Structure formats: structure tokens, C-alpha cells
Chains A and B, each alone.
Chain A
């Protein structure tokens, strides 16, 4: 497959941050992690959003550590809000999934990731939320869709399927060596 061919069912990342959707009645800008590019994008979004409607900018270290803070912000949000998320893929995918859990629709969400290579949907290695089918659990693993990695839970060598769940935020993975005879 050519690197630029879009793959159905995989996240497609904007190359440049999209402008803020002007139809919101309020904005929640979430900046995950300490990457300076993410902080810049979040700050630009927040400035743009403030000119339209009441805006809250929340910067946290990461979704695993600061999930309660993001929970509180989403819980307080009212229908009519637009949620904008910037950070690394791992944090952004899990934060988008959390926002969906709170009822946000796809068109109410915008995001920007700092660790995607434009045009590459597979083959680019980075930290990703990966669901290990054998542990039945999601971990942060370094890899790429269609690539391989090691599960921190069961220590199995996993293949990461090009199969992504927006609801979970994670990629599916399973034992890459299970079909090999000893």
C-alpha cells in the first residue's frame, strides 16, 4: 500500500490545525502533555474561540495522570460546546474517546496531534493506545498500525491491526507468533 493511500477506519490527522468551528456556544480546549507545538496550537485555538464564545483552556500532563481533571471539565460542559484536543496521539485518541463517552458527537470534536507524519497512516511508529486481545486491556505501546510491538501486560509479541475503535480510542492487537509451530 502506498504511504499516502487513506486507510478506512484509521484516524486521519489534519496536517495543520483546523480553524475553530464558529457555531459553538462555548469551547473547551484541552492541551495534553508538554509538547510546545501542542501548547501553541491550543493557545491559538483558545484565542480564536474566545472571540466567539466563552472558552476554557485546560492544560494537563496527560490523560492517564490527569483524567479526573478532564472528567470534571467534560461533566461541566453543556450541549452546544465544541471540544478541541491537542497533544500526542496516545493522549488525543483516549481523550476523544472520553469526550464521546460524555456524549460529544463527532462533529462537536476537533483535534490536532503533534506526532503524526503527514500522509502516513501506517508505518509511523509512536506511542499509541493498544488493546491487547489476550490481556483484554488497553496499554500505551510504541508501534504503528500494521506494525509489531510488545505487550507490557502479557509480554507477548503483538501485531497491531489496522483496526481502530473511536469508542475505545485504541487499536486492536493480537499475538504475532501464535500461528508459528515451535
Chain B
């Protein structure tokens, strides 16, 4: 890696763990069912990611969880669990707590005595004994309890009348959608506004993949866009649109391209054995063009992919109007 420009600081922190969303050889992007086995460490131009199904976020973990808990405390509509989905939420909680205790043994512990569980998270100070299936033994419903321990947005899908339905969710970091509205919809209904998604049969193939998800394998998928906010702010939910709606127009007006954020979403798919529910959990990462510019391979690839994207997809992703000046800034010579 070239360190020729004196302005370049050495890479550290979140950038080195960023799940860069494009394979090395990718020149153009279209929606596809780009799933791969989970828990596979993947090297990137700046570091590596992907050893575990949960990425706590290193030094950002505490701040992210404080943000998550603040949103959940302020807005109960960010969690919606349809009748009959509570067993699936317990299934989800047990699966993740067991996985976390094995993945991060130095900070997380789970002790099991039949249905009685004792969870400790030393990083956040959680110390909770509870009985699986007994709602009164937890301070929150099981999905919310888990959502206050890990940064992932939690989504559960199950089949009804031959269609996969998004029937329970805890989402605080939605990219301009509303969890409270979307819970209970079928995958087809939800993805209807995405250009090329249903027309090219992607939803149907993604749905087939989820329906056939084997019990013994865990998969993941990486998705991306340019964020609707000009900061690390994760809560760009539709509910909060009045609070962030002018962020990008102001950024575009000021031509402050360095603050523009690449938003990366890592989705994990697990078939939970006790209920057959499938997770569609989403972990959101942000990195600014300012940071991306310091990794030449990322800088060049992002500019190629963004500029090559057809107009309808660029419009859907929300950056058709400003992608050219933003990418021109990204690839301009760094003046020392």
C-alpha cells in the first residue's frame, strides 16, 4: 500500500474490520442472491472481517449499544412481534447467546441448567438469570433483550400460506424503511418498490434460498448503498425522516463529499431449529468517502461501481443526482 501522500494516516480501528462489499474483481453491480457461508474470515484491502456471525464493533460497541438502547427506550414501535412469533424469539435469543458465549468467551458467558439460563456480558455489565419461555423472567421480550446486547437489527421470517413473511422484527438502523409498517408483510410485498428486484426474479430466488435454508448451515450476504445521512448516524429510519431528510441535500449543496457515507449491511441467515423461523439479521457499518479515499483499491473500485450503475438502480439507492461530483472528488489527486 502506498503511503506517499503525507496527509494519509495509518489505517486503524473500524476501517480495518470493515466488510468491504465488493469482491476484488467486481467492476459492475447488479442485485443478485450473493450469499456465502457465514463465519469465514475474509481479507480486504485494509484488513479482514467475518470470523463470527456477530461483529460487536470493537471500540464502537459501547456507543452503538447506547444508541440502540436510547432508540428502543424512546420508541416502542421499533419492535413488532406478531402473535405466535414469541417462541421464535426465544429460539433466536438462545441461539445467539450460545453463539456469543463461544465467539467472545473473554467478555460473554452463558450458563445453562436445563431451562434456566444465566447470561453475563462484561462489556455492557449485563447479568441476567432467566427461564427459557418464561416472559416474566426477563425485563424485556426475548427479541428486545437480545437487541439490547448486540448491534444487529433482528428480523425473523416464517412461512404462511406458501409465502415467506416478515413476522417479527427489532430494527433501529433501518435505511429509510419502517419496521412497524413492514412487519407482517410477505417478502414480495416488502420488496415491491425495488427496481429490477421482482422483475428479474431476485426476490423469488432469494425466497427460494431462504425457504430451503438447511438446518445445519449458516449463510451471509453483503448489501450496500450510499447512506442517507452525512454522518455516522445509523438511525435513518423512515420514522425519523424529518430529522435526517436534509442531511444529503445540505452535503450536496456544500459539496462536502468527504462526509458522504458508504453504508454496508451484512445479513445473516440461520434456520432456528425449535420453530423453523429464519433470521434475516442485519448489521450496519458506515465508512466515509474520506476514509475510503485512503485505501486506493477501495477508492477506485467504489467509483467504478457507482458510476457504472444503471440510472434506475442509482435512483433507487438515492444517489443518481450527485454520484458524478462525489466520485470525481473521491478519485481526485490528493493534494498534500
8 A Cβ contacts from B221-254 to A = 238-239, 241-242, 245-246, 248-250, 253
Establish whether residues B181 and A168, one from each chain, have CB atoms under 8 Å apart when the complex forms.
Answer: yes
CA distance A8 to B198 in the complex (A): 9
User: Is A180's CB under 8 angstroms from B249's CB?
Assistant: yes
> Are the C-beta atoms of A136 and B189 separated by less than 8 Å?
no
Question: Is the C-beta of B208 less than 8 angstroms from some C-beta in chain A?
Answer: no
**How many B residues have CB within 8 A of the partner chain?**
26
- Against B, the Cβ 8 Å flags (1 = close, 0 = not) of A129-143 are 001011010000000
Complex Cα spacing A131 to B182, Å: 11
Contact indicator A172/B248 (Cβ below 8 Å): no
B181 pairs with A131, CB closer than 8 A: yes
* A179 in contact with B189 (CB, 8 Å): no
Roughly how many angstroms separate A134 CA and B240 CA in the complex, as a whole number?
Answer: 7
B333 within 8 Å of A (CB atoms): no
Asked if B216 is an interface residue, CB under 8 A from chain A, the answer is: no
Question: Residue among A106, A162, A170, A179 with the most chain B CB within 10 A?
Answer: A179
- Is the pair B181, A133 in contact by a Cβ cutoff of 8 Å? yes
Residue A117 is within 8 A (CB to CB) of chain B in the complex: no
A1 within 8 Å of B by Cβ? no
How far is it, in angstroms, between the C-alpha of A165 and the C-alpha of B185 when the chains are bound? 6
Q: Which residues of A contact B188 (CB under 8 A)?
A: 8-9
- Cβ distance B95 to chain A, nearest Cβ, rounded Å: 26
For chain A, residues 141 to 173, give those with C-beta under 8 angstroms from any C-beta of chain B: 156, 161-168, 170, 172
Q: Across the interface, which residues of B come within 8 angstroms of A164, CB to CB?
A: 189
Taking a contact as CB atoms under 8 Å apart, the answer to whether A106 and B77 are in contact is no
| Interface: A26 (CB within 8 A) | no
Q: Using A136-B180, A181-B246 as known contacts, say yes or no to A163 and B192 having CB atoms under 8 A apart.
A: yes
**Chain B residues with CB under 8 A of A161:** 193
B178 — nearest CB in chain A belongs to which residue?
A133
Number of interface residues of A (CB under 8 A): 27
Q: Which of B185, B238, B241, B249 contacts A167 (CB 8 A)?
A: B185
Select one of A8, A163, A175 contacting B241, CB under 8 A. A175
B161–A105 touching, CB < 8 Å: yes
Expressed in whole angstroms, the Cα–Cα distance for A175 and B249 within the complex equals 15
**Which residue of A is nearest B247, CB measured?**
A179
In the complex, the answer to whether A181 meets B253 with C-beta atoms within 8 Å is: yes
Interface string of B47-81 (1 = CB under 8 A from A): 00000000000000000000000000001010000
Residues in B whose Cβ lies below 8 Å from that of A136: 75, 77, 180, 239
Q: Mark each residue of chain A from 33 to 66: 1 if its CB lies under 8 Å from any CB of chain B, else 0.
A: 0000000000000000000000000000000000
Asked if B184 lies at the interface with its beta carbon under 8 angstroms from chain A, I say yes
Cβ A8 vs Cβ B242 within 8 A: no
A178 at the interface (CB under 8 A from B): yes
User: 8 Å CB contacts to B: which residues of A1-48?
Assistant: 7-9
A179 touches B184 (CB 8 A): no
B246 CB contact (under 8 Å) in A162, A167, A178: A178
- Residues on A with C-beta less than 8 A from B181 are 131, 133, 163, 165, 168, 170, 172
Q: A9-B192, A162-B192, A163-B181 are in contact. List 8 more A-B contacts (CB 8 A).
A: A7-B192, A133-B238, A163-B189, A163-B192, A166-B189, A174-B178, A175-B242, A178-B245
- Give B residues with C-beta under 8 Å from A: 75, 77, 82, 161, 178, 180-185, 188-189, 192-193, 198, 238-239, 241-242, 245-246, 248-250, 253
| Chain A residues close to B by CB (< 8 Å) | 7-9, 105-106, 131, 133-134, 136, 156, 161-168, 170, 172, 174-175, 178-182
Q: What 3 A-B pairs have minimum CB-CB distances, sorted nearest first? A: A178-B245, A167-B184, A9-B192
